[in-house]
Structure 1
């Protein structure tokens, strides 16, 4: 057993370990296991092997457990050792034994490691900018998942899938996921955001859309010695005729504490709010054909116009769309949109491994971009994943000296072709390929089966 485990560790460290040597070395996994005081028996699928197999499963286009076990067997097939069974039960039980807080801590460690690589030359006006947004994920229709993450109320029982709401903070410069929270489908974005503010560090700037622009949140962010740039919520009706003008389409305005306690705040939190705050309001027009939005009003706590010019803030908000692309990479490119696990606990573990895999790919893109002087955010995440998967067999077969040269080649091909920056690009939101003509499910499956039997 010990020999087989060591063989697998060597195989994974040669293939996955080298590209991710700084963010997810075996020493970090062991240290985290030790810090969390996790006890485990000597099995083939120990926490390290299970995590690496889980990670390679997420990175692969075929995310089945059978494919993951097949890789394990293939790694051991060329050695003179007993190969494990092709049955996926042992691997699935090993994933079940992985503590959720282990994956959570490794995810946060990967984010911190990559953030530390970002220097002031990459920052915005000397500040670190984070972007926040919310999205949804779907999961298998099981009793456990339905109980914890119910399907939308608009869907009939038995005809929908459990869905969860996620809130994520990304680094604007590196594109790495910093923090995550998870709740039921009908949770408002701002409720998720208030659980994520604890991940902000002093001097950070938080960028978000109008869903996060609330009086209490502006106050909270300022108390953390951070600043915010949000689009003004549509319910606010302030006009540019009020306030102190500091520039063209730019003024300082006073916001007053709401008269009644908003939903989501306790009475004590509401009573602790100051009677008023001063914010900066900037508005501008978009005259690009095809864009739905024609006028944008921004609210920010960055009050010093000499340090943060109007154009700089407008340009910064223009980059907020990057968070939509980051979420698309997670959900579409990596496949997190539809999860595979059948219990809430495993669903959360799966999400953390997706985020960990995403951060590891971002670290490869960062290394490739900084090594070959290409902006890391202009590199293709899908291309990075494809190159990594194709290079893994070569990394496995190479000697230690040759392996480093292959790794440098991997970075070079990742940085070879940058995705063009296409501002103001717009496309009609339509689908050309027609779906199948089968009707939508309007009754639970067991009722439809009875109809077939009686027909």
Structure 2
């Protein structure tokens, strides 16, 4: 064998390989995101760009571990040595930036939603989604505080800088379809205005998103993209048509301020208002679904209960995946990068749980996120990833045991929701009766 052939053979065996992760994320998506953003590695580094993408995702999966542990655990170092100093990993993250991660998130979230859309129940042919905002805290550095700011009350300011995100979530699987991230100067409505709703869908909002400009725009961004929300108590409207004693086709005035910001709005906009008695109280809902025969008011009121699924999604991310801790990064660009990595990592776990639910023939929401995520992470933590066939083999073994991770159906609330009193360190002193 000639010298050149020896060199080619050596190169083939030493090229960095992520084949053991292809069961979790298609490697073509990673390469596409790097090429689209101009971040693909040209020279051979210890941590090539495609490996750094997995490093960022690994930092979200192993929140309690230092960056050097994640690099070693996922076999991300290219070359003869299996170790690189932590500063090299940080510099690799700085070279990568946030754009490849945000592009990768868009690619995989859209592809996985299209896959899910055909597998799960919907509401009269409409996919069910929810939108809400969430806030993360981060390390207190001058750069972070100047860029992101923090939440402010009447008398105090949050002690840590914070970042806001608004997400569009599939309520059937908790997978995140779209997300926008910004500083605390940007409100939830501003970020939600940049989301892309799927066609043939109904999105559930809370009352904070009531805006003529926003809701009219939401309907026009995709074919048959509808919305449903609770109606405000002080809602101003005129009844155009009575579908039933508690079901109205209404029109509402558009405020002068909204018309000034968007002159194309006109003077009025129309929607449907329904009233339903729940637990002895009259609840009012407003929606863009005007057909009262196809979309009965009782069914719409029951559907709105699914808006709570996005709150459960955020709890899984912040409490289970992130252990209730601050973000790691100390620079704004790395904060954005880290958050995109968190959202990707969450979707990766949720997709595997969806496959487990299919094996167990239950809803994906009946797979325990806490226990199943521990089992999935243990595959990466304890199994050897040196062979590309190990991870698929162990994933298949885990799927065969899917019934172990099924939790009972959610119970109906039997008592009204109350706020528990704060535990007292010392017993309360009471006055003697005598």
TM-score, normalised to structure 2, is: 0.84
Are 1:247 and 2:244 an aligned pair?
yes
Task: For residue 43 of structure 1, report the CA deviation from its aligned partner.
Answer: 0.5
Change (3 A) 1:94 1:375: same
Q: Structure 1's 155 and 49: CA in aligned 2 closer, same or farther, altered over 3 A?
A: farther
Query: Retained in 2: the 8 A contact 1:57–1:67?
Result: no
Which residue among 43, 59, 62 is the counterpart of 2:61? 59
Deviation readout 1:270-315 (Å, 9 max, x if unpaired): x100332221111223328xxxxx4421110101111111122111
Quick one: distance in 1 between partners of 2:329 and 2:421?
A: 29
For the Cα contact (< 8 Å) 2:367–2:406, is it kept in 1? yes
Task: Provide the residue aligned with 1:287 in structure 2.
Answer: 279
Q: Which of 250, 253, 261 pairs up with 1:256?
A: 253
Q: Report Cα offsets for 1:170-227 as digits up to 9, x if no partner.
A: 112232112222233254322222122xx12332222111011222223212333421
List gaps (5 residues or longer) in structure 2: 1-6, 426-434
Bigger Cα displacement from structure 2, 397-406 vs 229-238: 397-406
The Cα of 1:167 is off from its aligned counterpart by: 0.9
The Cα of 1:338 is off from its aligned counterpart by 1.9
Shift of 1:152: 3.3
Over aligned residue pairs, what C-alpha RMSD do you find? 3.2
Question: Which of 295, 298, 303 in structure 1 is aligned with 2:290?
Answer: 303
Q: Secondary structure at the match of 1:152?
A: coil
Deviates more, 1:131-140 or 1:388-397: 388-397
Residue in 2 that maps onto 1:26: 27
1:355-374 to 2 correspondence within 5 Å?
A: 355-374=343-362
Q: Assess, with a 3 A threshold, how the Cα gap between structure 1 residues 256 and 338 changes in structure 2: closer, same or farther.
A: same
Alpha-carbon distance in 1 for matches of 2:45, 2:107: 26
Count of equivalent residues: 411
Q: 1:430 to 1:180 in 2, by over 3 A?
A: same
Superposed displacement of residue 250, structure 1: 1.7
Structure 1 CA distance, aligned partners of 2:387 and 2:329?
Answer: 37
Q: Which residue of 1 aligns with 2:216?
A: 219
1:276–1:388 CA distance, 2 compared to 1 (3 A): same
Per-residue deviation, residues 107-143 of structure 1 (Å, max 9, x unmatched): 1112112112121652221112221001211111101
Name the stretch that deviates more: 388-397 or 104-113. 388-397
Contact 2:253 2:268 in 1 (8 A): yes
| Equivalent residues of 2:40, 2:49 under 8 A apart | no
Q: How does 1:30-45 map to 2 (within 5 A)?
A: 30-40=31-41, 41-45=43-47
1:389-410 deviation line (CA, Å, top 9, x unaligned): 2223665379777764432221
2:166 partner SS: strand
The verdict on how the C-alpha distance between 1:392 and 1:71 changes in structure 2, with shifts beyond 3 A counting, is: closer
Distance 1:107 1:379, change over 3 A: same
* Pairing of 1:98-113 with structure 2 (within 5 A): 98-113=96-111
CA contact (8 A) 1:4 1:44 kept: no
Query: 1:91 Cα deviation (Å)?
Result: 0.7
Relative to structure 1, is the Cα distance of residues 398 and 345 closer, same or farther in structure 2, using a 3 angstrom cutoff? closer
SS of the residue corresponding to residue 396 of structure 1 reads coil
Query: Is the counterpart of residue 205 in structure 1 residue 184 in structure 2?
Result: no
Q: Among residues 257, 260, 267, which one is paired with 1:275 in the alignment?
A: 267
1:50 to 49, 52, 56: 52
Aligned to 1:161, the other structure's residue is in SS state coil
Which sits farther off after the overlay, 243-252 or 205-214? 243-252
3-state DSSP of counterpart to 1:332: helix
2:432 matched residue in structure 1: none
> 1:431 offset after TM fit, Å?
7.0
Separation of aligned partners in 2, 1:25 and 1:34: 15
Task: Give the TM-score, by structure 1 length.
Answer: 0.81
Deviation at 1:334, TM superposition (A): 1.3
